[in-house]
Amino acid sequence: MQLYFLCTGNSCRSQMAEGLAKALLPPTWRIQSAGVEVHGLNPQAVFAMAARGLDISRAQSKLIDPDYLATSDVVITLCGDARDRCPALAPGTHALHWPLPDPAQATGSAAERAVVFATVRDQIEVLIRATWPQEVQA
């Protein structure tokens, strides 16, 4: 199975989704993330994942790879911008849309922003578990 998570800048949601999917799904799955733009890895996403024991600190913000996209079994867009700007998918590619809020747009104190990142991270985990309940590893 080849899975691709897409969002606008590949800095928060898609990076967290990639990290969670790699932790939850079988190691035989190929899992990547990308964006329609490159915004750099958001340090708050790294912190939110570290709080769950997952290290995404070496991840890099990437543009959509047309070859990976063309061979993906499932493409999941995590925001309307990515859904609207995503290149055409190959026939047979299963497209899902998980419209999650952009945690990078959160306002308030550092603690309040951290809660938003953690909430989005947890929503992604719920969606992964619900989409592939038979595949999620214990």
Residues known to be catalytic: 7, 79, 86
Query: Which of these, 129, 99, 108, lies nearest to 44 by C-alpha position?
Result: 108
Question: Residue 53 is encoded by which pair of tokens?
Answer: 């024991």
5 bridge partner residues: 33, 76
Residue 71 three-state SS: coil
On whether the CB atoms of residues 127 and 98 are closer than 8 A, the answer is: yes
Q: Longest C-alpha distance within the chain, in Å? A: 45
Sign, CA dihedral 37-4-11-126, equals positive
